[in-house]
Amino acid sequence: MRLNYQATGPEDAPVLLLGSSLGTTHAMWAPQLETLASRFRVIAFDHRGHGDSEAPDGPYAIEDLGGDVVELLNELLVEKASYAGISIGGSVGLWLAENAPDRFHRFALLCPPAYPAAGAQMWTDRAAQVRAEGTKAITEPTLSRWFLPEYAAAHAAEVDVIRQQLLATSDEGYASCCEALGAMDLRPALGDITAPVLLVTTDSDQSVPPETVVELSAQIPGAHLEFIEGAAHLVTYSHPDLVNHLLMSHLT
């Protein structure tokens, strides 16, 4: 299974992989790309079932999504890289930190779920809804969780960029990734993580409650936690300058 990706930055620079949120593509990293590409060979990829990556029939498991990233490193002939991910991209990062520690230098994980805090049934129900009605059924509710109302009102064009990505996502790919999120529990091996980890959460994240990320910071040895106020889930869009500063400070 090959992942679609976009490569940016000097070819001889250290490699940084970017994993996006559920229902989006590598293009969601546009607010970070110029900054990160000044120091890294940035590989922004689409998860399986997203963007131009293949969308095999599901359900998927977090092991599938993480294994895809390891195979991408192999395809690119990259021995070791750093990784930044948000939302499900952060979950993939946690799996990689636990299961492929020899392939990564550092991790920056924004609003990452490690287990289904709202219960597995919520993800099962959402997967069924998307298979029956398409991603259009969940797009507006998702945007209302990802952006604060005042940001959405003032940045309609930016919000629409994400809206179009959600609408274009494969129904089967989205639903299968929902099932991966509902079935995963990455907590048992958090104490085994050895790479430096930056965790970022926000005060108004309705998708990944901030207290669950605080829990992760207490369980991952040496993890550094940053708490951003006045932001919802998609903090890479609402607070790009702050996020870019945190990523560069940690990853370099």
**pLDDT (0 to 100) of residue 1:** 81
Tokens read off for 158: 């930016």
Average pLDDT, the chain: 97
Average pLDDT, stretch 17-29? 98
Question: Is the pLDDT at 66 greater than 90, yes or no?
Answer: yes
CA atoms within 13 A on the CB side of 249: 10
pLDDT digits (tens, 9 = 90+) for 174-215: 999 999 999 999 999 999 999 999 999 999 999 999 999 999
**pLDDT (0 to 100) of residue 208:** 97
* Model confidence band, residue 87 (pLDDT cutoffs 50, 70, 90): very high
d(CA 157, CA 160): 5
Question: Is the pLDDT at 102 greater than 90, yes or no?
Answer: yes
d(CA 218, CA 237): 27
d(CA 43, CA 9): 9
**pLDDT (0 to 100) of residue 75:** 97
**pLDDT (0 to 100) of residue 50:** 98
**pLDDT (0 to 100) of residue 209:** 96
Reported pTM? 0.97
Average pLDDT, stretch 58-63? 95
**pLDDT (0 to 100) of residue 172:** 97
d(CA 235, CA 86): 9
Average pLDDT, stretch 98-108? 98
Spatial neighbors of 81 by CB under 8 A, at least 6 apart, are: 14, 15, 16, 17, 43, 73, 103, 104, 105
Q: Is 89 left (phi over 0), alpha (psi -120 to 50) or beta?
A: alpha
Do residues 169 and 142 touch, judged by C-beta distance below 8 A? no
**pLDDT (0 to 100) of residue 118:** 87
**pLDDT (0 to 100) of residue 84:** 98
